[in-house]
Amino acid sequence: MQNAALKIKKTIANDVYTRLRNQIIACTLRPGAKINIQALCAEMDVSLGAVREALSKLSAEGLVDAFEQRGYAVAEVSIEDLRELTAARIKIEQECICSAIDHRTLDWETEIVAALHRLSNTPYILEGTTLLDPAWAKAHHAFHAALVAACDNRWLLRMRSQLYDQSERYRQVSVPVARVKRDVKTEHDAIATAVLKHDKDEVRGLITAHLEKTTSIVIEALKDMT
């Protein structure tokens, strides 16, 4: 009975963590927003302990800031942080993709083609709004995950996943005010083609250009917001 209770408690805490994490990455909970623990407990119908455990994990991931005697807030975004994040992400993405190329399989290549097709046929902006379409965000995540899926280093993949999620927050917060148009489909096509040709040098260059382009657009959007 005790083991069953502990399992239920852990499952509830993980559910709270997942829900909060998704809201933070999608910017439903905006950067800098204070987190009302009591309100979350009531909204999710969970215990104080479950919410605190979830917030502790999110704090360790850099998605939530903990303040002594002042509670929690969603981590802020900044141009300086984005630049550092992009520099780290470029290096990790390159390593993961090159490792995936070294350990390539036919199934891996097939998944890349399928993920690219889905992404290319999913609208970027939610119809009738200036917001990023959640379906595109999901397809985009799946495409970039497919590129690295054959990487054999789990630690690199974990770091890559964390950096991707941090970057996604910046995309979500900037899309409604972004001024620059880009042909992101062509960029993704080029990356996939280089990967499937197993051309590591070309992949490194394309990934660098792709992520730096995103960063420059987001930075201009952040400047407009300040």
Other CB atoms within 10 Å distance of the CB of residue 153 = 15
Distance CA 31, CA 78 (A): 10
Please tell me whether the overall predicted TM-score, pTM, comes out greater than 0.75 for this model.
Answer: yes
The string of pLDDT tens digits covering residues 47-79 is 888 899 999 999 998 899 988 777 899 999 899
Q: Which residues contact 111 (CB under 8 A, 6 or more apart)?
A: 146, 149
- Strands (DSSP E) along the chain, which ranges? 34-35, 64-67, 71-74
The string of pLDDT tens digits covering residues 186-222 is 999 999 999 999 999 999 999 999 999 999 988 988 8
Q: Could you list the residue range(s) of the whole structural domain that residue 35 is in?
A: 2-74
- Most confidently modeled range among 31-40, 69-78, 149-158, 215-224: 149-158
- pLDDT of 135 reads 93
Percent of the chain scoring above 70 in pLDDT:
94
Tokens linked to 45 = 């119908």
Residues 90 and 171 in one domain: yes
Q: What is the domain count for the chain?
A: 2
- pLDDT of 5 reads 52
- Of 56, 60, 14, 9, the closest CA to residue 35 belongs to 56
User: Domain holding 30: CATH number?
Assistant: 1.10.10.10
Residues 36 and 116 in one domain: no
Other CB atoms within 10 Å distance of the CB of residue 29 = 20
Residues 193 and 107 in one domain: yes
Read off φ and ψ for residue 137, nearest 5 degrees. Answer: -60, -40
Other CB atoms within 10 Å distance of the CB of residue 130 = 10
Looking at 25, 42, 74, which one is the last position of a domain? 74
Residues 31 and 69 in one domain: yes
